[in-house]
Amino acid sequence: MPEDFERMWADLDPVGRSARTTGYFRQPFTSAERECHAWFVEQCERRGLRVEHDGNGNTLGWWEPALDTGEPAVLTGSHLDSVVDGGAYDGPLGVVSALAAIDVLRDRGVQPGRAIGVAVFAEEEGSRFGLACLGSRLAVGTTTPERAAELRDPDGVALLDAMIAAGVDPGLGRSGWVDRVGCYLELHVEQGRDLDLRDEPVGLASAIWPHGRYRFDFTGQANHAGTTAMPDRHDPMLTYAMTALAANKQARLAGARATFGRIDVGPNATNAVPSRVTAWLDARSASDEALATLVAAIEQQARDRAGRDGTALELTVESVSPAVRFDVPLTERLASLTDPRRPVIPTAAGHDAGVLAAAGIPTAMLFVRNPTGVSHSPAEHAGMADCLLGVEALADCLAELVS
């Protein structure tokens, strides 16, 4: 099994490398990400798994029992898209581990009494169309095809056009496979240092923090950078800059998270006061109420400052994902497969597992230690020995769930 895992890992290693760093950019419905899906299809076919494309850009491989017992299926998997300049592990670790876990089960002679599916979800990061977990949201029906059809990437390309250009046959909407799934188990690299600090290679997830994405459109007056006296300016960059500082301060005070990681400036010229700044806020907090309070405080400070700068602010809520609690009996059952029990820890990162859990599918997650604690960056890392322990843990859990 270690060789299989390492071979699969090496297959994916060169796909979608960033031009300037050691990171990756596997943007949904581009050649790099579709190459990853094609690789997944090939791996499924090599293992005799039945491949399904669901019309939402998700790809699944099914190991079906010789005799259909009608028992609900066990689904595992993750995603193969990445953030801009992301690491190697966020997503691919769960997919490669799922395929390797199937190999382990077969080596152990396990004959599953129900189907095991491996899912690769599309646009988990929301890096192109702005809505995280788009593939799983469409599959379970929490995002409607109408809303998805309106989504545009930063170049104005519509989701459906991007899918067609990538050779995906679109059929947006609730996926039939959802009805056959009895439970979902996603393995993921940990995106913090909790396991490392506990000296544990593998843990389970208890919950996901609520998470929102908000677009701040600041507008002012374009003007000459030399001839416009400072008191005469209506500069939206200043309003934005103060809002970014306010977001940081409010999040610190609340023990929450607030990040402006993307801005778009017009006209974007060195010698002109800008006329507009669009900035995206990613905010997360321990409870739904605390998240709403945090964003309201940031908005209030932004509006106060806009009043002083003579600029305007329009705020658009792009998405809000409420808090997720993973299935307690399922998580307890999987934690108790080891002695001592595996740690069960919360996370502030979003996952397709959260979408499936919110849709009522009993769901659990396994995390593999990340000694740097860094994620969404080329420095994201998990040691090979820990990855292989993760595969064994996933195989143990799947064996338990199909028994």
Q: Which residues bind ligand GLV (CB under 6 A)?
A: 125, 132, 349-350
Angle ∠(139,144,150) on CA atoms, nearest 5 = 120
Closest CA to 389 of 185, 101, 120: 101
Pick the closer one to ligand GLV by CB: 12 or 349.
349
Distance between CA atoms of residues 121 and 199, nearest Å: 31
- Kindly indicate which of the ranges 42-50, 90-98, 156-164, 231-239 contains the residues binding Mn ion, using the contact rule CB under 5 A: 90-98
Output 332-341 pairs: Cβ under 8 A, ≥24 positions apart. Answer: 333/400, 334/185, 334/204, 334/364, 334/366, 334/397, 334/400, 335/204, 337/396, 337/397, 337/400, 338/393, 338/396
Distance between CA atoms of residues 9 and 97, nearest Å: 10
The pattern of x and - marking residues 96 through 125 that bind Mn ion according to CB under 5 A reads: ------------------------------
Residue 220 binds which entry of ligand GLV, Mn ion, none, with Cβ cut-offs from 5 to 8 Å by kind? Answer: none
* Residue 97 Cβ vs Mn ion, minimum distance, rounded to whole Å: 13
* Residue 126 Cβ vs ligand GLV, minimum distance, rounded to whole Å: 7
Kindly state whether residue 91 participates in binding Mn ion, applying the rule CB under 5 A: yes
Q: Extract the tokens encoding 401.
A: 């769930």
Kindly state whether residue 54 participates in binding Mn ion, applying the rule CB under 5 A: no
Residue 210 binds which entry of ligand GLV, Mn ion, none, with Cβ cut-offs from 5 to 8 Å by kind? Answer: none
Closest CA to 309 of 395, 231, 217: 231
Pick the closer one to Mn ion by CB: 26 or 276.
26
Residue 132 binds which entry of Mn ion, ligand GLV, none, with Cβ cut-offs from 5 to 8 Å by kind? Answer: ligand GLV
Residue 91 binds which entry of ligand GLV, Mn ion, none, with Cβ cut-offs from 5 to 8 Å by kind? Answer: Mn ion
* Residue 347 Cβ vs ligand GLV, minimum distance, rounded to whole Å: 8
Which runs of consecutive H residues, i.e. helices, occur in 141-287?
145-150, 159-165, 194-198, 236-254
Reduced to 3 states, what is the DSSP secondary structure of residue 15? Answer: coil
Pick the closer one to Mn ion by CB: 153 or 282.
282
**Which residue has the CB atom at the shortest distance from ligand GLV?**
350
* Residue 340 Cβ vs ligand GLV, minimum distance, rounded to whole Å: 29
Quote the strand ranges of 180-291, DSSP E. 181-189, 202-208, 211-219, 223-224, 257-266, 272-273, 276-284
**Contacts with Mn ion: how many residues (CB under 5 A)?**
2
Q: Extract the tokens encoding 13.
A: 């290693």
Kindly state whether residue 90 participates in binding Mn ion, applying the rule CB under 5 A: yes
* Residue 124 Cβ vs ligand GLV, minimum distance, rounded to whole Å: 7
Distance between CA atoms of residues 87 and 377, nearest Å: 5
Residue 313 binds which entry of ligand GLV, Mn ion, none, with Cβ cut-offs from 5 to 8 Å by kind? Answer: none
